[in-house]
Amino acid sequence: MALPTLRIIGFLIGIFLITLAVSMAIPVLTLVFYDRTGDINSFIWSSLITFVAGLALVIPGRPEQVHLRPRDMYLLTVSSWIVVGIFAALPFLLTQHISYTDAYFESMSGITATGATVLSGLDSMSPGILIWRSLLHWLGGIGFIGMAVAILPLLRIGGMRLFQTESSDRSEKVMPRSHMVAKYIVAVYIGFTLLGSLAFWAAGMGLFDAVNHAMSAISTGGFSTSDQSLAKWEQPAVHWVAVVVMILGSLPFMLYVSVLRGHRMALFKDEQVQGFLALLLVIWLVLGTWYWLTTQLHWLDALRHVAVNTTSVLTTTGFALGDYSLWGNFSLMLFFYLGFVGGCSGSTAGGIKIFRFQVAYILLMANLKQLVHPRAVIKQIYNGHRLDDDIVRSILTFSFFFTIIICAIALGLSLLGLDWITALTGAAATVSGVGPGLGEIIGPAGNFSTLPDSAKWLLTLGMLLGRLEILTVLVLMTPYFWRH
């Protein structure tokens, strides 16, 4: 790879690091406000180290007359997530006095909006660390939206070209419009965060908890300010606010932009949104009724518990209202399956994504019709787009390797001595971005702190692979990527 290209990538990563360094001022101000000044020096040193590293990459400047090619985007995307995670771990390392393995696991879980954690004692933890965890979710969420809207369609990753917009077109003609779309998306993201904070506050949370949970919910991350997660707050209004904000974070942000531009029904006419909301409603009713019949709860209370937990898993957020792993075998299997599905493309949610399941159904029906009518020409249309061979091949490749990666990581974890439930659900939860797994160790009532360091690094790799849609990372491991 040419030196000028590497300089551009370094320049952009430097900007990301400087942004991260400036963001560390928020925990510092939080600590000052709550008069918990003991950790301030740790955040100041973390910010200073990060800023100097970013400045060192930015000072050489950006080479003129050099532009990034689509293949260069792979390296930029993967390296930026890895490098930002390295420096985002510094506050955890300096304030919590944990190993760098645990610190990097926590930071990668934050910026990938996974929500798996190695920390406990959150109820009495420093407010600076709590806001930093939520802030990493929030920054990682908006970063992933930008990647999903602008970069992945350009790279033709996993069928994402179905959602290609002018923001992923590199022509000079649409660049001003691309910048406007980016501003709209950021405005919507900030707007939802503010509204979510106010709604949590009005529902009964303290202002600090409300802001943290709003950032965590809109990014579908799952970090909480309590070891009990949402179960700490008994007010039903808090739980329903969490459900609404998680759903908002798992819908395509480009459609919010379309609504702001005057296409008022764009959100509800989209097949992906229709499928996601329909699936969510069916799950609520089926599992809610089952939970009501098997417990002493009132039907509305049973529905609320089911709505919070199933929405959290389906949107890959990771909040929990009680330990749903104790609900029985049927619910356990259902929660395991839901973690694979995920939200909509162009949202902050992880998982395989709803549209890939919908496209798979279209392909299945087309093949069945072809068996009955071998000579028929069957059109395969999704959301107004023709499903050509390139899109179908890309979706099938992604789905296959998504499953293979989970199986490989689970096999590696079992080799390290973990039981099969912890290994399988841990691999699935980190690659899908759900966060908590199942079982006594890493279930909703546990965390990942007791796992061996080698297992944590394997799961950290799973977070990165899942968040960057698998193939973005795998392509860097091929020899022909590095040849001119």
- Rounded percentage of the chain residues whose pLDDT exceeds 90: 60
| Residue count (the chain) | 484
CA 118 to chain centre: 18
The pLDDT of residue 66 is 67
Provide CB contacts within 8 A for 208, sequence distance 6+.
Answer: 30, 34, 127, 130, 131, 225
- Tell me what pLDDT residue 323 has: 87
- Assign 149 a pLDDT band (cuts: 50, 70, 90): low
Over 80: is that where the pLDDT of 42 sits?
Answer: yes
- Residues 89-133: tens digit of each pLDDT: 999 999 998 999 999 999 999 999 999 999 999 999 999 999 999
- Report pLDDT for 164: 45
State how far the Cα of 184 lies from the Cα of 257, in Å rounded to an integer. Answer: 6
How high is the pLDDT of residue 165?
37
78 vs 81: CA distance, rounded Å: 5
Q: Given a cut of 60, is residue 67 above it in pLDDT?
A: yes
Confidence at 137, pLDDT banded by 50, 70, 90: very high
What pLDDT shows up at residue 376? 84
Q: Decide: residue 392, CB within 10 A, 0-12 exposed, 13-18 middle, 19+ buried.
A: middle
The answer to whether 212 touches 110, Cβ cutoff 8 Å, is no
**Nearest CA among 78, 81, 114, 161 for reference residue 349:** 114
Report the pLDDT value the prediction gives residue 171, as an integer from 0 to 100: 33
Output the pLDDT for position 345.
Answer: 87
Smallest CA-to-CA distance from 186 within 241, 243, 254 is with 254
Give the per-residue pLDDT at 104.
97
Give the pLDDT score at 73: 82
312 or 66: which carries more pLDDT confidence? 312
- How many C-beta neighbours within 10 Å does residue 59 have? 9
pLDDT at 163 over 60: no
Contact 130, 225 (CB under 8 A): yes
Indicate if the pLDDT at residue 152 is higher than 60: no
Q: pLDDT digits over 334-393, tens only?
A: 999 999 999 998 889 989 999 999 999 999 998 999 999 888 888 888 888 888 888 888
**Higher-scoring residue by pLDDT: 296, 427:** 427
Average pLDDT over the chain, rounded to whole? 88
Structure confidence at residue 484 as a pLDDT band (50, 70, 90): low
pLDDT in tens, 170-210: 333 333 456 677 788 889 999 999 999 999 999 999 999 99
Section 389-406 average pLDDT:
89
Six-digit token pair at 46? 């973390």
**Residue 429: which H helix or E strand, with range?**
helix 420-432
pLDDT band at 12 (very low <50, low <70, confident <90, very high): confident
What would the pLDDT profile of 338-353 be if each residue is shown by its tens digit?
A: 999 999 988 899 899 9
74 has pLDDT over 90: no
Report the distance separating Cα 418 and Cα 292, nearest Å. Answer: 34
* Per-residue pLDDT tens over the stretch 439-479: 889 988 889 999 999 999 999 999 999 988 888 888 888 88
